[in-house]
Amino acid sequence: MTSKQKNLSEYTNKNVMDISGKKFAVIVSEWNEQITGSLYSGAFQTLLDYGAQKSNIFRTDVPGSFELPPGAQWAAQKKEIDAVICLGCVIQGETRHFEFISQAVAQGIMDTGLKYNKPVIFGVLTTDTLQQALDRAGGKHGNKGDEAAITAIKMLGILHP
């Protein structure tokens, strides 16, 4: 379902577990900081709303979205971290750079989750325009940060039923 039809901040509570003792690493791209800051705010608030302790949410900023996979790997290799949430924004430009970055980031995040057998969540916007990103970072289509946080919680619920 496209985000034109679905609000990214709406979800069901199926597979939601008690996360009061869980630790979350949130890796945030500094590039497109206006967008990624909003994504982080959404993810942070959603984690708190579902019972995460503020002291168990660890933010790490990386220079850009391309650096999200190594940042995620460094966090995921720590045994005390239960889930990793990656937040970034890649906006289409005039060159193929967008395609290379988007594919590498998606692959790297997926590979990290598989390698460490814990939720490593892709909360990266890949949009054609800045307006589309704003619409998905707390705008008319909700907040991808909310969606990324609830995805982490639900995946923990599946991993630890």
* Catalytic site residue from 6, 97, 115, 140: 97
Which residue's entry shows tokens 């069901």? 12
Contact 123, 117 (CB under 8 A): no
Contact 85, 46 (CB under 8 A): no
97 catalytic residue (yes or no): yes
Q: How many whole angstroms separate alpha carbon 131 and alpha carbon 147?
A: 19
Q: How many whole angstroms separate alpha carbon 123 and alpha carbon 119?
A: 12
Closest CA to 57 of 34, 74, 75, 33: 75
Phi, psi of 7 (to 5 degrees): -85, 125
Contact 89, 125 (CB under 8 A): yes
Question: Among all residues, which ones are annotated catalytic?
Answer: 97
